[in-house]
Structure 1
Amino acid sequence: MEERARRARREDRWLCVRITVLLFVWRGSLAQIRYSVPEELNEGAVVGNIAKDLGIDLSILKERGFRIVSGSTEPLFQVNQNDGILYVNRKIDREEMCERSSTCLVNVKAVLERPLEVHHIGVEVVDVNDHPPRFPDTERRLEIAESALPGARFQLQAARDPDAGVNSVQFQVVAKDSGTPSLSSNVTVNVFILDQNDNAPVILSPVSANGSAEGVEEIPRNVNAGHSVTKVRAYDADIGYNAWLSFSLQYATDSSLFGLERYSGHIRTLRSFTETDEAEHKLVIVVKDNGNVSLSATATVIINAVEPKEAFAASDTKSAVQTEEEDYVTFYLIITLGSVSALFLLSIIGLIVMQCSKPPDNSSKYSRDSNYANTSGSGTLCHSIQYRSGDKRYMLVGPRMSIGSAIVPGSNGNTLVVPDHRRRISGEVRN
């Protein structure tokens, strides 16, 4: 019983203490005051005189330990125990403290001891237009499809690297507040026109006479694996990734015989032909672009396997070689005949030149005509005899004379005297 009585007395005492504290708090709450200060005040700026506003005697401030209590290790405000003035302890930044709140109120407590008094003080921080509007990034990239209609709206998203190509538009966005003075900021927006996959691939080859994407190719049956048959060519009017084309084989008469390169469109044989393979093969090629919604076009290639023409090719080659050899023989014959004719002509010309340039005969000046006459009175000789001498030596040229003939000088030349009787006479030639 005694133990219960002791516990009851202790609880009563604690209850009295709590009531006393609540009374002090209630009394302090009645004395609550409120101040209003602008942000960005420097350290030491005066907020207000707490002692004067609360009606506290300045002489007891130190004695009762007058102070400011806040939950921060670095309080924004402090009080001077000599005059009871509340001042700024560090610079106040409203945006840092209250962010986007419409009201920024800082609560502090002014405490007096012996007896305990707590006074609640509220300090409202008024926003000051000290920060211009800022964008997260100085540049933003806005991508708009080329099919966008006039009046379409687009939200500015996260910034990206700008593009300065022909499909970009650049403009400035200015944001201005309504403060006094008004502050503003701007951002450069680069709008890049994204290509839309609105163009299907166009087949360039093969193309038939009527404009359809069809073609016929012929290859010999004796080709080996890897033989190039033909190449499908296509074009896409889009740009970038949308213009990347890929080729695939949609249908083939024999898929084991022909293959198609995915990105080049080259058709090649995968193996050699056999006797059981058909002579005609049909291939249907699909050309697709790389758009999100892929567009495609088809081309048809007919491949005919024909018999090899090696014998005809060999015959044609032999005939061509023979014709070429005959042409060479004719050419050489013409050159030979021409050379012989030229040499003959040059020889004739040389002979003519030699005859024309031959010097005159020096012995002609010693030539002298001689007339011979019969001195016996029977008449002259039946013929004349001429002689020449180039070295002043005389030689008788003529028919054989009879014994007793003589040569005597005449008026116009030398005269040969022949007596009637046959005897030898000596002839003397005078010059």
Structure 2
Amino acid sequence: MMSWSRPLLFSLLFYFTELILAQIKYSTPEEVKLGAVIGNVAKDLGLDVSTLINRRFRIVSGAQDSLFEVNPNNGVLYVNKNLDREQMCDRNVACLIDVKVVVENPLEIHYVAVEITDANDHAPTFAEKEKVLEIAENTSPGARFQLPGARDPDVGINSVQRYKLSQNDHFHLEIRDRGEDKIPFLVLQRSVDREQKTNHSLILTAIDGGTPLKSANLNLTINVLDINDNRPTFSKEVYSVILQENVALETVVIKVQATDLDEGTNGDVEYAFGGDINSKVLELFSLDTNTGEIRVNGQIDYETADVFKLDVQASDRGQPPMTTDCRVIIKIKDVNDNEPEIEVTSISNMVPEDSKHGTVISLISITDLDSGLNGKVICSLTGNVPFELKPSFKENMYSLVTKETLDRETVSHYDILITATDYGEPQLSTLKTLSIQVSDVNDNIPEFSHSPLELYLTENNAPGASIFSVSAFDKDLYDNAVVSYRIIRGGGGHNDMASFININSENGDILALKSFDFETLKTFQFQVVASDSGTPSLSSNVTVNVFILDQNDNAPVILYPVSSNGSAEGVEEIPRNVNAGHLVTKVRAYDADIGYNGWLLFSLQQVTDHSLFGLDRYTGQIRTLRSFTETDE
């Protein structure tokens, strides 16, 4: 290592001090072209140009010396590399580059300070493209929210000079200076409502002061945070639906829907029936707490209830929860599921057969639990019966009346089939049988089987014995059919045979009070009256023709001439010269009886000579069997 003496060091320091003659300051904008002249060092040093022939200019090597170059002959300083102030210098201080320029012959060192001035070669930039802010919807106006500032490497007027905010109704921009920086603040000037607008999209623009102006945009998204400031709202205050009865279980009746403008749990809605709902309704309907669907939970019967009014409550899950109510009216539509019912109020189950046309027999009431056409009923009778239904002034009321003359003797009992049919779809019918007895009136006279009647009575009957029986039939009943008998008698004279006849009034047995003789009386007649026991009594007559039958109660009587001496024997004189077959005489005889009883057969009882005479047994003629001889008497 070289050692220097103290005197020598002082000499050299003096020498070099003398060499630093001056310091020059230049200014050049950044981003100038390569070769651009910054300044003439020789001229600015005041050197005579004529003396520069032997002098040389050079830049002493250093970290930044290569940025510039000097013309060795004339001392012109020019740009050798691209100048970027933002890379070379701190933005907060002046950008000065010290360049050591050495001039030789004699040796001189000059310090040249080159200030790199800023050019507006950068636009402002934001660190993010988008900024999201969250503001509660109950935030009071005047609240401030710091926004990210824009960065601009340029300085001075070329850096960010101002900010602006896109046009809106709720926010404005406030700028605060903090040293050289401008800090933007978003100020709430009007309350925000999440239910009206959930987010606000704004644009923050940062603008520098360069020429031309350069800017950058930051997208601002302000999300409005929800608070539970809204009640659930039903789509309708009153829901109305028509539900058919007898629908299947789990059938969806209706879906109520409530919306809550809040969000999250503040906007989550759940449903429930009102607290004062009838417990029986809860047995019929169920409510889904999440969806609001009302379903059938039991048997729906129109005849039990035709309308249901349900109160449904919607609540959010905020703290505290907010609620609202609506009403659901369920009208039940009738189904034709009930048959008509027939109620018969009989005035009497016995109808006199002489009832006049239009006589009321029964009152018939028809009820059908259904409604409308399903409950409208028509009533009719089945079959050909002497009755009809007369509708009453009151609906579904009828009177059963007679429309024809009744005759118990023809038909004593009617089973009337009443049919009640509704007008539903499909139609339903009910049948009811009404039994009616026709009661008897005394409208029939006793009737004999034949008229007149013929009685054949054998003579010599025993007096007091029954000789005949008459019978009359009465079609009526009971007392009206109880028949009694009597004989119509004349004046009681000798020729009134009825006086010899008696009759049993209860059974019609006829008794003869005397014995009749055919040879005296062969025929006679009398009349029998049959009377019933009705009120008034009815009767009929029958003539009984009595024929006396002959008995063989009389012996034949021979009629022949009586002799002069009164003898019963007859005497016939016959000539001797008669031939065989000569009619001698004819024996006459009489028998009071008739018929076979009066038919006569003749025979000879005693004959002296059987060869002389013969008797015809049928005619009674006596004839000679041969001629007489001398010996015949």
Q: TM-score, normalised by structure 2?
A: 0.28
Report 1 or 2 for greater relative contact order, CA contacts < 8 Å, sequence distance ≥ 6: 1
Considering fraction of residues, name the structure with more strand: 2
